[in-house]
Each structure stands twice: as structure tokens, then as C-alpha cells.
A and B are shown apart, each in its own frame.
Chain A
Amino acid sequence: QITLKESGPTLVKPTQTLTLTCTFSGFSLSTSGVGVGWIRQPPGKALEWLALIYWDDDKRYSPSLKSRLTITKDTSKNQVVLTMTNMDPVDTATYYCAHSIIVGAIGPHFDYWGQGTLVTVSS
């Protein structure tokens, strides 16, 4: 069965860089059509997509955050890492990673999600 789990700091200071790791099992990120995405949700607010990486190392980023984000994968470790630079209190949110597959066409097909990790940005 497919599972994903996010890990990383729960508290970061403004201007610091956040590094989050998504460790997954039940699938391989070297399988054609498979991807892992990151989505965040500020407390009481809507979902916001951040980034997506596919089996072929194709990477997509939110245009509004692209300059601050980097997504990478380590297929041998079954991990995907997201880094976000220059953190600000408005970046306080629950960060989710999710399994994605291409079904017919590329799209936000996130069928398995991690439990999420709350990251607070405060000095």
C-alpha cells in the first residue's frame, strides 16, 4: 500500500531556509507516469500547490514561489526533498506531500497524501 510521510522542522526563523523531506513507500519514483507533489495549507485557509516532480525528473513549480523553491528526488531512498528559501511568517502552514500519477494527461491527480507537517515561521 502507498504511504507518504513528511518530516522536517516544526519551527523556523524568518529568512531561514526550510527543508522538508517526503519519505514514501509502496511505489517507485522511477516508474513511468509517477510523481510526488507538495501542497501547503495555512491555518484556516485554502490549499496551495507548491511543486511537483515526475519520474523523469521533470519539475514544475508554483509561478509565484518559483524563485524560492527547489524540489529534488532520491529514488534509491524513496524520498523527495523540498527546500524553500527566505521563510516568512506568512509561510506558516501545514505542508503535505502527495503521490501523483498521469492518467490520460498531466494534472493535479494526487491520490495518496501524507498526514502533513505544521511548520511555524517565527522569531
Chain B
Amino acid sequence: QSVLTQPPSASGTPGQRVTISCSGSSSNIGSNYVYWYQQLPGTAPKLLIYRNNQRPSGVPDRFSGSKSGTSASLAISGLRSEDEADYYCAAWDDSLSAHVVFGGGTKLTVL
């Protein structure tokens, strides 16, 4: 059972906009930045969003992040087949001696 809750799956057709949610608590999302990772099949995770809504260089602006209270969302617009991957949210958690928590991951399928 992950500390951050994500839907196990999401889907969309090419060109669509999809969102993936991440729900936490006051000790993690509610008081710290949210990060998002993309993991393509058989590869290491890649940082997609940091500090709630910042994109590392090289990440297309089709990817955007937002946060409100103890929840966060990743939005992908103009969905492409190469976006089919697992997506994870993460945050620092201030409880029990500060540590990192990940979500359970969302598998995005491009139909």
C-alpha cells in the first residue's frame, strides 16, 4: 500500500488530454513539492516534473503538473503513442523522520 494514491490505470486516444491524479496528506503533498516520473517499459524512471510544475530541460510542454492542497495532478496534452508508460508521483514526507514516498504508479495506455 503506497503512501501516495494513484489510479492504477488511465487511457486516452492520440491527441487527447489525460490527467493522472495523486492523493496524499498534509505531511507529504500538503507541505512539500510533488515530483512526477515517467517509466517507459524496461527502462529506468525519468524525471518529468519537479517542484509541482517545473519541467526539466528536454521534457515537452505537453506535460504539466499542478498541486492543490493534499492532491496533485499530471496532465498530458496532445497524447502520443510514445507516452504509453508508467507514471509515478513522489514527494517528501515529514512524518517519521523525513523520507521520500512514491505513489503506486499509473499505467497509461494510448488506445
Across the interface, do B92 and A108 meet the contact criterion of CB distance under 8 Å?
Answer: yes
Give the number of residue pairs across the A-B interface with Cβ within 8 Å.
77
**B51: which of A49, A96, A103 is its contact (CB, 8 Å)?**
A103
A62 vs B96: C-alpha distance when bound (angstroms): 9
Whether A49 touches B44, Cβ cut-off 8 Å, given contacts A104-B33, A104-B51, A109-B35, is no
Q: Contact residues of A with B, CB < 8 Å?
A: 37, 39, 46-49, 52, 60-63, 66, 96, 103-111, 113-116
30 contacts between A and B (CB under 8 A): A46-B88, A46-B102, A46-B103, A47-B37, A48-B102, A49-B99, A49-B100, A49-B101, A49-B102, A60-B99, A61-B97, A62-B99, A63-B96, A63-B99, A96-B44, A104-B33, A105-B33, A105-B92, A106-B98, A107-B33, A107-B92, A107-B100, A108-B35, A108-B102, A110-B35, A110-B37, A111-B47, A111-B56, A113-B46, A116-B44
